[in-house]
Amino acid sequence: MTSTTETATLDELDDAFEATVVAVQSDDGALPPELLRRLVEIGFLPGERVRIVARGVPGGIPLAVRVGTSTFALRRAEARCIRVTFDRPSVTT
């Protein structure tokens, strides 16, 4: 059996979904290496579960992102550098 895994950048993730971090990289050079390193240092590591918990108004920026037990506010440029795989919708209570 062959499985395909859909990947996207974190800013493309819908609020109702959890995802798993695959990589932190800037394909277009939007962020300098030290900011990418900072994302890794604060917990955006491959294998970590992430979820967008809120979006700023207006325009949905910044993104409030839950990684592990911490929540961080990310700019869209930062969220675009975090590559994730999609999981099924999470159930919130």
Note the pLDDT tens digit of each residue in 1-59. Answer: 334 468 899 999 888 789 999 999 987 777 888 999 999 999 999 999 999 999 988 87
Alpha helices (H) in the chain, listed in sequence order? 33-41, 76-79
Distances (CA, A) of 3 to 6, 8, 19, 31, 46: 10, 17, 17, 32, 19
Which domains, from first to last, does the chain contain?
A: 7-89 (2.30.30.90)
Q: Are strands 63-67 and 49-55 parallel, antiparallel or unpaired?
A: antiparallel
Q: What is the pTM of this model?
A: 0.80
Note the pLDDT tens digit of each residue in 45-63. Answer: 999 999 999 998 887 789 9
